[in-house]
Amino acid sequence: MLGYLLRRIGLAGLMLFGLVCLTFVISNVAPSDPAALAAGPDAGRSQIEQARRDYGLDKPLPEQFLRYLTDLAHGDFGRSIATGRSVGTDLARYFPATLELVILAMALGVLLGVPLGVLSALRKDGPADHATRIFAVSGIALPPFWFGLLLQLAFATWLGLLPTSGRLSVFTEPPPPITGLLLVDSLLTGNFGLFREALSHIILPAIVLSLPCLASILRVNRSEMVEALRMDYVTAARAHGVTPWRIVMVHALKNAMLPTLAIIGLRWGWMMSSTVLVETVFDWPGIGLYAVSSAIAGDFKPVMGVTLIVGLNFMIANLIVDLLYGVLDPRLRRA
């Protein structure tokens, strides 16, 4: 087990290195002059050259790469060219917002996906089944950015029930971070007003982000359930008068747990990446919005930083799921 773990971690490290190389190559294929961006619009040649030296852009590419690697090893993501700010500091500021959104969306996906999947299986081929199946596919087919705009339009603009965007109202000063997750921090400090405010801001983006994940979980639970209901022992149990409800709770859900877990692992990294669209729509101050606004401006250091962070999340999530699989299902433990 330990050997397996070490091998996996080693592999993840190797992949992270690959990712660094990849992002570095991408950020240098652009035919752009980062120094001009750093120096600002009205800068003359002397300021541009100054900026080039300041950012080490005058060095040959291999040297820049080595420097980036050493900096990364020290936990330093470099400086954004457009703003001159430390990417690491910015990432630390924006990551909790994204994390909070992803966790909530994941929770919504599981809490709604599992029961809906069970329902669908119990009513197999009935109207409820067709409806949930189409709903499930819709979750994957709905363009999140468009659906987000629709929700914004309906709940914020027309009904006036929820705020349009952001994480908190402008007038609310966020509390000093404990975990950085506002919902958690507000509960920890017993500030229920803040909790409600944070919840009202996060709910729409979380719904939009949760849909694809919800759909996957729903489908897996449905198919596992359908399968389980076909099993001999279930039929036998039924014949012995065990209520369907009990069968669902005891047998089928147990079967569905592992695949659900696998989906959580897969979708975790995926959500971190697709949160880009949701954050753009809801002006959510997370790493996705940070990546997009930097990419549009042609500022690649932040994009590289976000890619690495999301990649890291991918790998860690997969690792954890693999390990949990091993623990939960000894048959799958690998040599």
* Best CA proximity match to 271, nearest among 248, 288, 253: 288
Please tell me the distance from the alpha carbon of residue 266 to that of residue 315, in angstroms, as a whole number: 10
Tell me the closest approach of the beta carbon of residue 140 to other proteins, in angstroms. 6
Sole window of 10-18, 181-189, 238-246, 323-331 interacting with other proteins (rule: CB under 8 A)? 10-18
Is residue 255 involved in binding other proteins (CB under 8 A)?
Answer: no
CB nearer to other proteins: give 72 or 306: 306
Sole window of 70-78, 180-188, 235-243, 257-265 interacting with other proteins (rule: CB under 8 A)? 257-265
CA angle 216, 219, 225 (to 5 degrees): 140
289-318 positions binding other proteins, by CB under 8 A = 289-293, 295-300, 303-304, 306-307, 310-311, 314-315, 318
Alpha carbon distances (Å) from 325 to 119, 258, 329: 26, 7, 6
CB nearer to other proteins: give 126 or 243: 126
Is residue 45 involved in binding other proteins (CB under 8 A)?
Answer: yes
Sole window of 104-112, 182-190, 196-204, 243-251 interacting with other proteins (rule: CB under 8 A)? 196-204
Contact 143, 243 (CB under 8 A): no
CB nearer to other proteins: give 159 or 239: 159
Please tell me the distance from the alpha carbon of residue 235 to that of residue 127, in angstroms, as a whole number: 24
Sole window of 60-68, 181-189, 239-247, 268-276 interacting with other proteins (rule: CB under 8 A)? 268-276
Is residue 110 involved in binding other proteins (CB under 8 A)?
Answer: no
Please tell me the distance from the alpha carbon of residue 238 to that of residue 234, in angstroms, as a whole number: 6
* Best CA proximity match to 84, nearest among 31, 35, 33, 26: 35
55-74 positions binding other proteins, by CB under 8 A = none
Sole window of 62-70, 98-106, 199-207, 230-238 interacting with other proteins (rule: CB under 8 A)? 199-207
Query: Encoding tokens for residue 281?
Result: 């729509």
Query: Encoding tokens for residue 133?
Result: 């199946």
How many residues sit close enough to other proteins to count as binding (CB under 8 A)? 118
Applying CB under 8 A, among 98, 120, 210, 274 the residue interacting with other proteins is 274
CB nearer to other proteins: give 112 or 242: 112
Applying CB under 8 A, among 90, 95, 121, 252 the residue interacting with other proteins is 90
Tell me the closest approach of the beta carbon of residue 240 to other proteins, in angstroms. 29
Please tell me the distance from the alpha carbon of residue 163 to that of residue 170, in angstroms, as a whole number: 11
Is residue 111 involved in binding other proteins (CB under 8 A)?
Answer: no
Is residue 249 involved in binding other proteins (CB under 8 A)?
Answer: no
Please tell me the distance from the alpha carbon of residue 37 to that of residue 56, in angstroms, as a whole number: 14
120-179 positions binding other proteins, by CB under 8 A = 130, 133-134, 137-138, 140-147, 149-150, 152-153, 156-167, 169-173
CB nearer to other proteins: give 167 or 251: 167
Tell me the closest approach of the beta carbon of residue 276 to other proteins, in angstroms. 6
Helix residue spans in 231-252 (DSSP H)? 232-239, 244-247
Contact 299, 37 (CB under 8 A): yes
Please tell me the distance from the alpha carbon of residue 41 to that of residue 29, in angstroms, as a whole number: 22
Q: In 3-state terms, what secondary structure has residue 74?
A: coil
Please tell me the distance from the alpha carbon of residue 253 to that of residue 242, in angstroms, as a whole number: 16
Applying CB under 8 A, among 1, 5, 9, 26 the residue interacting with other proteins is 26
Please tell me the distance from the alpha carbon of residue 44 to that of residue 22, in angstroms, as a whole number: 33
